[in-house]
Amino acid sequence: MIKKYSICFLVLFPLILTFFLEGCKVQTDPEKPAAETRQPTEENSPTAGLPVPSGEPSPFTGLPVKEIFDCPYAVIVENERAARPQAGLQEAELVYEAPVEGGITRFLAFYMSPLEKDIGPVRSARPYFAYLAHEFDGILAHCGYSIHTEAVLADLKLKHINEIPHPAYFQRQKSRKRPHNLYTSLSLLATGAEKFNYPPGNPPAEFFYFVEQEKPKEPVSSIALAFNSRNNVEYRWNPRGTYTRYNDGSPFIDTNHETPVEVKNIIVQHINTRVFTEEGHLEITLLGEGKGYFFSSGNMEKIKWKKDSYQERTHFYKADGSVLRLAPGNTWIHLLPPGGKMEWEAEKRLDQGEEGL
């Protein structure tokens, strides 16, 4: 038996249709379908066969890692259809997905421990990505920026590495067309941070609280998010206790593994937006408080978020006011605008005594 729930936000969200995106000042290419790849199984999942690392727990995931950076790297990765499949998102410990102009989204991917693989395609910054990177004292990697972002970077004194004046810390892949072919790596960014004499960040502390989540009898089997008609996201529950991501009906592939991205914790954070330029650039309200939803290990909870200033982190709370605790693993936070839609399905599982009836 399938139980289906839906949420629709009727506040008008302006859809700005533009024929170009401000990213590295290059016109986009025609959309291409995602590459066909194998479905994940226990044997070919991104973590299959890898030894369990020993060391201190990552403040982003609660899982042990061999090394923890003094401050995280935060890379802006595009999500236009022509940019898929992307690279490096499976290993990102925390990912924000936020709307930009043109009806698409972009990711802000955080890395707190070493990764010797490609990350990208990298695109331009927006003010709210700068604020989110600042929230974790991160080093922002990007290719250019939209109007007003430069002032925000300067005001925050944010450590950042921009490809346009500093291409040495990025690379173009010949197998893809511009502007969807710009990649970086944490080793390249570390070289750039050293070159710019960026001071080490604050001693890393636990960014989230973690606890193992109990699986319910009726797990949430599917989560559907529609930022707008041009961007539809689905997460499907899998036997490994994570959610497999799909975008616009196709598996959301990480080319470093050639398998779909899997996510342990999913947060939907409802935010307000407004268009403030003729090109359709958005202002996203990150301050104040609001509502949201938390999905993990088959569970769904209504939550609240609160952020008092840009010098503080966003805090997430359960409906009863207690601090939200995540399951150990990666987390994706979706900034869902007014007009966005969300629905989920819960599938009833047979109890052991009911099998065969």
DSSP percent split of the chain into helix, strand, coil, nearest 5: 10, 35, 55
Domain assignment present for residue 274? The answer is no
Domain assignment present for residue 163? The answer is no
Place of tokens 């080490």: 200
pLDDT of residue 205: 79
Provide the number of structural domains found in the chain. Answer: 1
pLDDT of residue 32: 40
Cα 193 to its chain centre, rounded Å, is 23
Domain assignment present for residue 8? The answer is yes
How many whole angstroms separate alpha carbon 172 and alpha carbon 154? 27
Domain assignment present for residue 22? The answer is no
Helix, strand or coil, per DSSP, at residue 190? helix
Query: 300: Cβ–Cβ under 8 A, 6 or more apart, which residues?
Result: 220, 293, 294, 344, 346
pLDDT of residue 41: 54
Q: What is the CA radius of gyration of the chain?
A: 20
pLDDT of residue 60: 96
Domain assignment present for residue 246? The answer is yes
Domain assignment present for residue 81? The answer is no
Q: What is the CATH number of the domain that holds 220?
A: 3.50.90.10
∠ Cα 98 101 107 (to 5°): 30
Domain that holds residue 340: 2-13+210-265+288-349
Return the axis-axis angle of helices 149-156 and 127-135, rounded to nearest 10°: 20
- Asked whether 37 and 25 are in contact (CB, 8 A), the reply is no
- Give CA separation, 260 vs 33, 232, 246, in Å: 15, 16, 8
The model's pTM is: 0.85
Domain assignment present for residue 317? The answer is yes
Domain assignment present for residue 230? The answer is yes
How many whole angstroms separate alpha carbon 325 and alpha carbon 69? 23
How many whole angstroms separate alpha carbon 186 and alpha carbon 161? 12
- Asked whether 50 and 83 are in contact (CB, 8 A), the reply is no
pLDDT of residue 31: 41
- Give per-10-residue mean pLDDT for the chain (357 aa): 51 38 39 47 49 79 95 97 97 98 94 97 98 96 94 96 98 95 98 95 83 92 92 95 96 97 98 91 96 97 97 95 97 96 76 32
